[in-house]
C-alpha cells in the first residue's frame, strides 16, 4: 500500500465519521472499511401499498400506509490496498424494501460512479447518490409496492423489471444475472411491512424527541422527549401537564374524556399514552372503568346485582334469566331480583310513581311489555293509588298529630281528627286546647281571631259564611 493511498483512505474514514452520526456510519475495527446506513429521502405523503394477493394475513383488502422514513440501505465496504489510486472499494449493498433486481441496478451505477471518478475517493458520492437519487433512478413513485421474489423468479424477471426503470445505467444490466453484491435482507412480505412500520415509528419518535415545543397549557418550551402528542391531531403538550390532567379525569371517573385539551379537538389519548404518564394504581382504575363503560354500551350485557360481585353477565336472547359465572346467582335481568320464572316482577312502593308515569307516557307496545313484566293488576293498583293520593293531596289536609288525611266538607274550623281525636284549627293547622278549643278563635292576638266559620275556596281566597 502506497503512503498516498493509505493517507487518502484514513482521511476519507475520518471525514465520514465527522459528517455522519454513529447510527449512520461505523468504521470497522480490524480492516480499512466499515458500514454506512443510508436513509433514502422520501417525498411527502409517500405511500407503501401491498395488494391482497401478496399479503399473508390480509384477505380481500389492500394494505396501504403513509411513511416518512424507510429502513436504510446498508452499504458495507472494504478498501483494497490500492484504493483509490487503482481499485474501487469492495462492497455489498443490502435493503429490506428493494428487490435484488433493483439493488443490482444500484450496484451497477455505483460501479459507473467509480469509473467516472477513478483515482479519487468515492464513498461520499456513493452515499449521496443512494440518499438523494435512489427513487428517481429506479423510477419509484408513490404508492410503492415492494416485492419479494425467490432467486429463480428474479432471474426470470430481471430484464423486465430493469427495463421498467427506464435509465441507461439499468439498461446495461438487462442481459446479465443478479449481482452477488445485491442482498434483499428480509424473510417475508409480512415481516417487511412490520419492519417498515416499526422503523418509521421509531424515526418519527426520534425526530420528535430532538425538537423543541411550546406546551399550550403551561406555555413552557420543552424538548420533545419531555412532551407527548395526540395521535390524530398532533397537538403537543408537556408530560407534566398531561399527567395532572389525566389523573384528575380518571379520579372523577371521566375515562372517556381524556381528549386533547385544545378547544373542540376530538382527539383522544390512547391507553398506552395514559399508562406511560399515570401511576400503576390509577391506570388500573382507568382500565377497569374503560372496560365497564364499553360493556355498558352492549345491549346483551348485564351485571350481577349482588353488591359484592358485579360481574358482567351475557344475557341470552328472549330470556330474562341471568346466571353469574362467578357466584352462580340466578337473577331476573329486568328487576335484578332472584329469578322468578314467569311470575311478574315485584315493584317496590317507591317505584310505583315511576311505573305509573312510565305507563301513562308509553305507547301500546311498551304498555303491553310493562303489563307482562309487572302484571296488569299491579299496574292498575299503582294507577288507582296514585289517583287516590293526588285526590287526597288536593282535597284534604293531614292531622298535625298523627298525619291522617282529613276532609272538611262544611261546618266550623275547629276540627277533630277521626283517628287520634285531637282538636286542631283547619285554617292554621295549629293544635287547640282540649278544655276550651274555641278560645283560639276568640283571642284577639290569635291569627284566626273571629274566623271560626270562615271557609277557604280552592283558589285560596277567604269568604265568610253566615252564622245560622
Q: What is the pLDDT of residues 270-280, one digit of tens each?
A: 888 999 999 98
pLDDT at residue 435 tops 70: yes
When the pLDDT of each residue in the chain is averaged and rounded to a whole number, the result is 82
pLDDT at residue 342 tops 60: yes
> Is residue 29 left, alpha or beta, with left meaning phi > 0 and alpha meaning psi from -120 to 50?
alpha
The pLDDT value given to residue 95: 95
* Percent residues over pLDDT 70 in the chain: 81
Contact assessment for residue 285 and residue 297, using Cβ atoms and an 8 Å cutoff: no
pLDDT at residue 154 tops 70: no
Domain 211-296 annotated CATH 3.30.40.10: yes
In this structure, the number of other CB atoms found within 10 A of the CB of residue 112 comes to 13
Cite the residue boundaries of each domain of the chain with CATH code 3.10.110.10: 3-199
Contact assessment for residue 246 and residue 278, using Cβ atoms and an 8 Å cutoff: yes
Buried-exposed string 352-368: b where 16+ CB fall within 10 A, e elsewhere? beebbeebeeeeeeebe
Of 183-197, 359-373, 419-433, the poorest mean pLDDT is in 359-373
Q: Known catalytic residues?
A: 412
For helices 100-116 and 151-165, the axis angle rounded to 10 degrees is 60
Q: Give residue 263's pLDDT band: very low, low, confident or very high (50, 70, 90).
A: confident
Q: What integer is the mean pLDDT of 58-72?
A: 79
Cite the residue boundaries of each domain of the chain with CATH code 3.30.40.10: 211-296
The CATH fold assigned to 3-199 is Ubiquitin Conjugating Enzyme (3.10.110)
**For 359-378, how does the pLDDT look when each residue is reduced to its tens digit (9 = 90+)?**
777 888 877 777 766 666 76
Q: What integer is the mean pLDDT of 76-97?
A: 95
Q: What integer is the mean pLDDT of 248-257?
A: 82
pLDDT at residue 29 tops 50: yes
The pLDDT value given to residue 170: 46
- What pTM, to 2 d.p., does this model score? 0.55
Q: What integer is the mean pLDDT of 166-186?
A: 67
The pLDDT value given to residue 458: 41
Cα(160)–Cα(177) distance, rounded to whole angstroms? 13
Amino acid at each position: 500500500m502506497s503512503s498516498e493511498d493509505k493517507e487518502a483512505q484514513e482521511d476519507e474514514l475520518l471525514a465520514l465519521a465527522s459528517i455522519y452520526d454513529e447510527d449512520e456510519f461505523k468504521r470497522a475495527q480490524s480492516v480499512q472499511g466499515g458500514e454506512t446506513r443510508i436513509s433514502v429521502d422520501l417525498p411527502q405523503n409517500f405511500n407503501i401499498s401491498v395488494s391482497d394477493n401478496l399479503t399473508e394475513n390480509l384477505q380481500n383488502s389492500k394494505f396501504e400506509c403513509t411513511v416518512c422514513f424507510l429502513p436504510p440501505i446498508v452499504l458495507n465496504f472494504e478498501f483494497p490496498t490500492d484504493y483509490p489510486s487503482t481499485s474501487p472499494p469492495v462492497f455489498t449493498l443490502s435493503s429490506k424494501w428493494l428487490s435484488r433486481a433493483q439493488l443490482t441496478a444500484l450496484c451497477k451505477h455505483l460501479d459507473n460512479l467509480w469509473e467516472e471518478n477513478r483515482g479519487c475517493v468515492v464513498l461520499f458520492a456513493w452515499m449521496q447518490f443512494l440518499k438523494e437519487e435512489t427513487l428517481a433512478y429506479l423510477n419509484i413513485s408513490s404508492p410503492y409496492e415492494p416485492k419479494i421474489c425467490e432467486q429463480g423468479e428474479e432471474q426470470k424477471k430481471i430484464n423486465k423489471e430493469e427495463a421498467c426503470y427506464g435509465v441507461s445505467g439499468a439498461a446495461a444490466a438487462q442481459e446479465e444475472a443478479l449481482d452477488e453484491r445485491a442482498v434483499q435482507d428480509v424473510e417475508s412480505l409480512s415481516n417487511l411491512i412490520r419492519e417498515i412500520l416499526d422503523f418509521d415509528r421509531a424515526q418519527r419518535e426520534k425526530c420528535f424527541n430532538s425538537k423543541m415545543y411550546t406546551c399550550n397549557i403551561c406555555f413552557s418550551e420543552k424538548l420533545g422527549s419531555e412532551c407527548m402528542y395526540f395521535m390524530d391531531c398532533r397537538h403537543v403538550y408537556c408530560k407534566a401537564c398531561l399527567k395532572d390532567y389525566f389523573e384528575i379525569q380518571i379520579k372523577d371517573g371521566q375515562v372517556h374524556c381524556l381528549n386533547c385539551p385544545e378547544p373542540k379537538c376530538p382527539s383522544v389519548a390512547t391507553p398506552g399514552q395514559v399508562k406511560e404518564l399515570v401511576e400503576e394504581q390509577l391506570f388500573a382504575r382507568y382500565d377497569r372503568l374503560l372496560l365497564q363503560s364499553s360493556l355498558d354500551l352492549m345491549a346483551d350485557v348485564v351485571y350481577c346485582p349482588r353488591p359484592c360481585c358485579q360481574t358482567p353477565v351475557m344475557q341470552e336472547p328472549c330470556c330474562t334469566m341471568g346466571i353469574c359465572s362467578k357466584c352462580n346467582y340466578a337473577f331476573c335481568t329486568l328487576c335484578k331480583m332472584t329469578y322468578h320464572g314467569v311470575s311478574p316482577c315485584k315493584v317496590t312502593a317507591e317505584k310505583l310513581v315511576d311505573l305509573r308515569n312510565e305507563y301513562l307516557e308509553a305507547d301500546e307496545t311498551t304498555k303491553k311489555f310493562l303489563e307482562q313484566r309487572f302484571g296488569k293488576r299491579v299496574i292498575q293498583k299503582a294507577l288507582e293509588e296514585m289517583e287516590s293520593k293526588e285526590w287526597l293531596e288536593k282535597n284534604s289536609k293531614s292531622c298535625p298529630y298523627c298525619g291522617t288525611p282529613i276532609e272538611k266538607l262544611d261546618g266550623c274550623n275547629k276540627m277533630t281528627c277521626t283517628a287520634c281525636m285531637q282538636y286542631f284549627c283547619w285554617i292554621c293547622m295549629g293544635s287547640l286546647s282540649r278544655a276550651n278549643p274555641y278560645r283560639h278563635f276568640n283571642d284577639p292576638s290569635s291569627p284566626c281571631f273571629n274566623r271560626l266559620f270562615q271557609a277557604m275556596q280552592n283558589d285560596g281566597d277567604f269568604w265568610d259564611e253566615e252564622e245560622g
